[in-house]
Amino acid sequence: MAEIRSALEIAMEKAGQLGMADKKDIETEDLFNKGRRLAAKFISGEEKDLMSGLKDVRADDLNHVIGGAVEVILRNITLPRDKGQWSSINKALSGIVMLKGSPVKQIVSQIEQLLKGYEQTIGRYREQLKAQMQGKLGGIQQTLAKQYGAAAAASIDVEALPEFQNEWSRLSLSINEQFNHQLSQLKAHLAQ
């Protein structure tokens, strides 16, 4: 008959197993962290040459360090919310080419096209929505112009209206989901 163990005995056994972290696991995590730090310094501009940080790494450890660096680099390849993000995105794209070599250049090129297409799409849809809302606002502006003058009517910012904000939120969420799905697929190829 099987021995019945108490919940405390099972918990103590699991705690004992958790406490025995393998030395190799700790070393591996340290190597991944080294790669993460190296990539973060590269993207921030502190480190000019990503490959120079790998020179002192033993050949046996290189895959772990590169794995950590790739993880950070891929996290920095995102849909650009503003022009300021392009600096870190471009650094990340150049970093992945440095680490993985010429086989990934085609995927990097596809990512660049996707991100530029995203910017164009998001801008175009925002302008279309703005024009659509401006048309709806025309009648309200005429009424305001009669009551408060043309200056007051002209000062209404379409983008500040709750209707615009709600519709833009819904629309941009849909666009972001579509482009993030495509970006995730391309990044998965880079992670291999």
Give a yes or no: residue 128 inside a domain. Answer: yes
Which value, in Å, is the radius of gyration of the alpha carbons in the chain? 26
- Cα–Cα distance between 53 and 59 in angstroms, integer? 13
Q: How many C-beta atoms lie closer than 10 Å to residue 191's C-beta?
A: 12
Distance in angstroms between the alpha carbons of the first and the last residue of the chain: 48
Give a yes or no: residue 90 inside a domain. Answer: no
Give a yes or no: residue 95 inside a domain. Answer: no
Give a yes or no: residue 152 inside a domain. Answer: yes
Domain that includes residue 152, residue range: 103-192
Whether 116 and 171 map to the same domain: the answer is yes
Number of domains in the chain: 2
Whether 109 and 186 map to the same domain: the answer is yes
Question: What is the distance, to the nearest Å, from the Cα of residue 84 to the centroid of all Cα atoms in its chain?
Answer: 14
How do the pLDDT tens digits run along the chain, 192 residues long? 456 666 656 655 665 555 555 778 888 889 999 999 999 999 999 988 888 888 888 889 999 999 999 999 999 999 999 999 999 999 999 999 999 999 999 999 999 999 999 999 999 999 999 999 888 776 666 666 666 666 665 667 778 888 889 999 999 999 999 999 999 999 999 988
Whether 121 and 168 map to the same domain: the answer is yes
In contact, 38 and 66? CB cutoff 8 Å? no
Whether 108 and 190 map to the same domain: the answer is yes
